[in-house]
Structure 1
Amino acid sequence: MKIVVIGGSGLIGSNVVSRLQRKGHDVFAASPKTGVNALTGEGLADVLAGAQIVVDVANAPNFEDHAVLEFFQTAGRNLLAAEANAGVRHHIALSVVGADRLPQSGYLRAKLAQEALIKTAAIPYTILRSCQFFEFAGSIAQSATNGRTIRLPIALMQPVASDDVSALLARIAGVAPLNLTVEIGGPELIGMDDFVRRFLQSQSDQRQVIGDPQAQYFGTALDNGSLTPGRNPHTGAITFDAWLNRALAAA
């Protein structure tokens, strides 16, 4: 079976490609590096010829509100049109838990617009909304750093290992389209401040993390339901402590 992974050279995409190849599929890692650009449409028709499944995990290069919306809408339209012409039978897309609950976030508004395009297209689909990856802890810390202090929300989140997300995407590619949205989170609920604090401690980073109920996450106020999945989500197997230990060992 031919499967095209859009964004196939990134953190999630490269993992999904490897997993699908090990299952014996004919997999193409599509990205600007391999001559495929969903934003411009370059290379889409050629790479999708004969493809049965597309896994879209591409991300915007610019998170500014207008730019990120333009990316997901334009790339989404180009990709879905090319898939329709090629006869693709299953469109799988990665989105974000909370995309429909945080309209103040330009990025999440853009992901919601991408989801709407998928749902109104004629191609059978499955959307996987993921909680924040463990790998995002460092960037969350950096975004809230002021000198040696990091001020973050105390709202609960359910972060997940990117490896667990990749594994689920690969499994979804092996079953019939669900024509609905499913979610995945990690095995542990944790306050955002504690999530970053534990990460920094594992790195011997001496910055002080302050939990502040009024602090915002990339300009957005949070509560305990903002970044946590709804009922019956998929749950990753890798704990945050296990991921930290693995990352420390690799370093």
Structure 2
Amino acid sequence: MRVTVVGASGEFGSVLSRVLEGRGVDVVRAHRATGVDAVTGDGLTEACEGSDVIVDATSLMSRSADESVAFFSAVARNISTAADATGARVVYLGIYGASDPVVNKKMGHYRGKAEQAVVYEQMLGDDATALLSTQWYSLPEKFMSQTTFGPIAVAPHMHSRPAAVEDVAEAMADVVLDPARPSRVTVAGPAEMDLADVAKAVAAHRGSPRWVLGVNYGGAGLRSGGLVPADPDVTTSTTFEQWLAGR
């Protein structure tokens, strides 16, 4: 089996590529360093030729709704076009709850992911499968890297069921290799947590920053269960304590 992973140099795409290769899959790693620009479409169709599945694992770290919508919609359109040209199916990484206006109202990144889902549904319909993941244990580290001032950092209160990125990649690999792929698979971690508490535990484990302040950010939808699937299709196994011990 051959799979093109678009965004293979990112946090998730790199892990997924290794997982798929470990299962005997011929993986084409598509990203700018290999001559593929998913935003413009340059080199994309060529990278997808001969592949059975195209995985959209692209990412963008931006709080701007305009930038996120432009990025994720352009990538989804270009990958859909490549899928039509090559006959491949598409599996794309989404965020559970991101399409809910109550959740994404003040979250530019989530609005971009919501638009991504709209494009795939309109252009590919059942030929695209969404893997909707909850947040990852590593997310609060990204928050703290951007909001640390001396010994103090801030992290948003987000009620979620976070998971280890490696577990989510394993779940994605299961979907990619399943010939009867459903149109939607939800993946959640083993326990409900506030990501502000995750950030505090990570900081305590590594000894920095000294204080982490939880703040209300992004609207009430992030704190009222909008990010927590009631009945996920996949519940990952790695607990936060296990993940933290392995850091």
TM-score, reference length from structure 2:
0.89
In structure 2, the residue matched to 1:132 is: 135
Q: Deviations over 1:182-207 (max 9, x none)?
A: 21121121122211111111011243
In structure 2, the residue matched to 1:87 is: 87
CA distance in 1, matches of 2:235, 2:10: 22
CA contact (8 A) 1:126 1:177 kept: no
In structure 1, the residue matched to 2:36 is: 36
In structure 1, the residue matched to 2:77 is: 77
CA distance in 2, matches of 1:84, 1:12: 25
1:51-200, aligned counterparts within 5 Å?
51-60=51-60, 62-88=62-88, 90-101=89-100, 102-104=103-105, 105-122=107-124, 124-145=127-148, 148-200=151-203
CA contact (8 A) 1:7 1:56 kept: yes
CA distance in 1, matches of 2:6, 2:80: 12
Q: 1:206/1:81 Cα in 2 relative to 1: closer, same or farther (>3 Å)? A: closer
CA contact (8 A) 1:131 1:227 kept: yes
Q: Which runs of 5+ in 1 are unaligned?
A: none
CA distance in 2, matches of 1:86, 1:232: 32
2:104 match: secondary structure: coil
CA contact (8 A) 2:204 2:210 kept: no
2:138 match: secondary structure: helix
CA distance in 2, matches of 1:152, 1:68: 21
Q: Please, which moves more after superposition, 233-242 or 174-183?
A: 174-183
Superposition deviation, residue 170 in structure 1: 0.8
Q: Deviations over 1:18-52 (max 9, x none)?
A: 22222222210110111111111111121111111
1:126 match: secondary structure: strand
Matched, 1:19 2:22: no
CA distance in 2, matches of 1:232, 1:206: 34
Q: Which runs of 5+ in 2 are unaligned?
A: none
Q: Please, which moves more after superposition, 122-131 or 45-54?
A: 122-131
CA distance in 1, matches of 2:157, 2:63: 24
Quick one: which amino acid aligns to residue 98 of structure 1?
G
Q: Deviations over 1:54-98 (max 9, x none)?
A: 11101126442211111111111111011101111x210001122
Q: 1:52/1:142 Cα in 2 relative to 1: closer, same or farther (>3 Å)? A: same
CA distance in 2, matches of 1:148, 1:9: 32
Quick one: which amino acid aligns to residue 66 of structure 2?
H
CA contact (8 A) 2:140 2:155 kept: no
Quick one: which amino acid aligns to residue 93 of structure 2?
L
CA distance in 2, matches of 1:47, 1:206: 43
CA distance in 2, matches of 1:84, 1:241: 44
Aligned residues: 242
CA contact (8 A) 1:2 1:27 kept: yes
CA distance in 2, matches of 1:177, 1:116: 22
In structure 1, the residue matched to 2:10 is: 10
CA distance in 2, matches of 1:206, 1:85: 50
CA distance in 2, matches of 1:206, 1:106: 27
In structure 1, the residue matched to 2:207 is: 204
In structure 2, the residue matched to 1:238 is: 238
CA distance in 2, matches of 1:18, 1:29: 10
TM-score, reference length from structure 1:
0.88
CA contact (8 A) 2:62 2:109 kept: no
CA distance in 2, matches of 1:45, 1:138: 35
Percent identity over the alignment is 27
Q: Please, which moves more after superposition, 28-37 or 147-156?
A: 147-156
Superposition deviation, residue 223 in structure 1: 1.9
1:231 match: secondary structure: coil
Q: 1:155/1:12 Cα in 2 relative to 1: closer, same or farther (>3 Å)? A: closer
RMSD value, Cα = 2.0
